[in-house]
Chain A
């Protein structure tokens, strides 16, 4: 009998590990199937204001002293804001608090049928200004920096462009699709020759969350399956599993859209591209980003499929601000703001830019 070679023993060991892990994966997947939803949004906060779909949070400061100017994060109306606060160590809110910012967040609840008539004007001329008034009353500071994510960035831009004498101190747009004609697949699917937004809104009132989710997922049809395969592969890594489940929960809790808001964003922003062209009028006010003069930072992702590069790159050229900067980072639409990439890349970049403008 010949002695077994090192190669044979390595193969045996690899096979043994593989079989053991496969059995353990099966066991873990059963545990996960019965597990409660991954806890998210754990950073302590107060609900400062609620009205219908709107919620304004104030997070409890962590630092011994904070920057003078408070920060308001504005979430897109299609998603819950807990992506800013996924889990301890993976929370942009927690990071900003530790860096010494006083953090407020605009979150959205699903709009009800009686809120189907909400328009861009409600969001940008009522909700955001009301939140900013509340922040001023709560913090005692007249100025505020606004950070908008995705369509939250669009709402923040419209707010800023229509309140040029207002309390806005700094504006940060995260993955904001400013030029809607550069939105690739979404633009193709919204082709006005085929997409009957009036029929959709008139029939449904509120556009269901499933339709919104479908629109997102269709752009990366293999993503969900690939994600599940990766979860299966890394079932032993507790941090990976927690992170996956938190992101999954965020994706699954997509919000419905108020019908009139959907109609208006489709016609004015997507078809007309009026924020980009400077022709947008909201609530009787001209929303020209050329009128924006506050310091502006645009942070965009290189591999963003929801706000592709063509839709984000023109912002700096169009705003009136002289203090303006764009930071292009590796990553995608969501990994830019949450997860390991964000921890390493985006959050420090945001802190570096905002801290010197928050005193």
Chain B
């Protein structure tokens, strides 16, 4: 049974890689950009799902940690000349101005700095619960943003950073996304993953069963911040400009939309919803442009797209709270039960 599933998983990965390769060869830059953006959203939504869906901590701090990752990775990879061009109001701190690291290292550094921020924020804030936690994490995310705006000599303030090297290629972003999916699948199905879920289901019982609840929360929050930092860094290296405004609550909202739509506590749900939402966001772009509906013409209505998305989120929450997948996963044995795979002799084990 296990061997069959491993083979099937390997096969699926190979097919997906082939599709990516074909897409990369044949699709235009615009289409690839959307596809790659989906991969970044996979990373980000899994980061939020880890705290929100698996550990039951309602955090709204995503954007702040993304900002940390994006800035760190951008500043570590930009060449001294580009830095000089960016920092025309106030020069960049000299030790950083000359430093240029390889992308992989910078990406990890971005993740670690975000994780560190997560740890520092998490230790005080995770004593809070539910909506208090949500509002406090939102608060910290805003504080991070305000600090970035004001640290002119380190972040270039409100002007943001331009000409960040475009390192987020198809293979990089999907490679990272695949790693993160694998990480989450292994984590949530492990003994530690059960501790996360125990904390989510009943904190008091978890503590009574010997789970160090606070520590588990801080760990989950820190890992999630790491992933958010990596996602933010990838985003920066994709669109090549970042500024503090980009990392507002709006961004967290988009990611929350994906997590809720896919199903809180479902990895496959988040993956599917990431791709779905990113593609839909682009497909619905026409809504913001002038419409010609035979009988009546509208001038461009910027914002209509976001109206549709907000309405969608509400519809999902009100009508189908569990999202696409609930807290279930798409698994090979699930396909088997649905009759999409030939039945094995002994029934599915895992």
Co-assembled chains A and B:
no
A-binding residues in B (CB < 8 A): none
B-binding residues in A (CB < 8 A): none
